[in-house]
Amino acid sequence: MRVLITGAHGQLAGELVRRAPAAATVSSVSRVECDITDNLDVERVVGDFYPDTIINTAAYTAVDLAEDAPEEAFAVNAEGARNVATAAASVGARLIHISTDYVFDGTRTTPYPPAAEPNPVNVYGASKLAGERWVRSADASSLVIRTGWLYSARGNNFARTILVSLQAGRALRVVDDQVGVPTSARDLASAIWSCVELPRLNGIHHWVNGSSATWYEFAVAIREMALDLGIIESAPPPVSVSTSEYGSRAVRPGYSVLDASALWTSLGGPPQDWRAALWTTIREVRDEQS
């Protein structure tokens, strides 16, 4: 089994490499090694490695910056996805493409199933939706996995940002009126490897950890666990603010909880609750810092 992973410097790609099965020959490539916005570069890398499966984690994820740089966001998230999908089809490789809860507008009050109609409210979401459509049109065997609020013990993510701020003793203002599912990149990576073993699984699916939270509840949990695990001795509690009070360049969906029950069933059952997954990650951070 030969697996090519794009976006090597991202948190999900790193977790995929760390959790790769022994039977897999893995090549994880960064933008320097494989610029997915360059179709010839993608064709060269895919042709040289000749994978059975490609996992496309490469993405432009700067939600606020995308509002002022839509061309760059679409170049990576839409045209880049198309280039990867085209190259995968050319060698008969199955593509697993990672997308986002931000393809939805957040007007629901119950979890979004995969068949729900997308309606992105920002450039980032629109660019990711365009990428999904390119992937699905290129090959019916492709698998799109939407996820959201991804974090890990490494890289640039909400949990790491909150921990660094707590350790520095900075006061935190955190939005309390956006609801989603904090999702462990470690757990998602394990789920993706399970999907690799299910070649007939295709279409659009959702995968997140269990339950849901606001960003404020997520931050409070990070602080509590950091105190319990001794990463910090003290820190002021986060202050909850509304989205309008916080102020962001990009509009964000107020509710982006994904219904992942279908994929959970395909993989053998629901994952752990987001709080249990977060505890594992915070403990991992502690162990690396000690």
Residues catalogued as catalytic: 124
User: Contact, 251 vs 121, CB < 8 A?
Assistant: yes
- Which residues are 256's β-sheet partners? none
Q: Which of 42, 106, 37, 43 is nearest to 73 (CA)?
A: 37
- DSSP 3-state assignment of 236? coil
d(CA 240, CA 246): 9
Q: Which residues of 208-238 are buried (b: 16+ CB within 10 A; e: fewer)?
A: bbbebbbbbbbbbbbbebbeeeebeeebeeb
- Which residues are 239's β-sheet partners? 173
**Is the Cα torsion angle 104, 5, 94, 208 positive or negative in sign?**
negative
Residue with tokens 């994952």: 271
Report how far apart, in Å, the C-alpha atoms of 9 and of each of 134, 212, 252 are: 24, 28, 25
User: Contact, 88 vs 53, CB < 8 A?
Assistant: no
Q: Is 235 left (phi over 0), alpha (psi -120 to 50) or beta?
A: beta
**Which phi and psi angles does 101 have, rounded to 5°?**
-65, -15
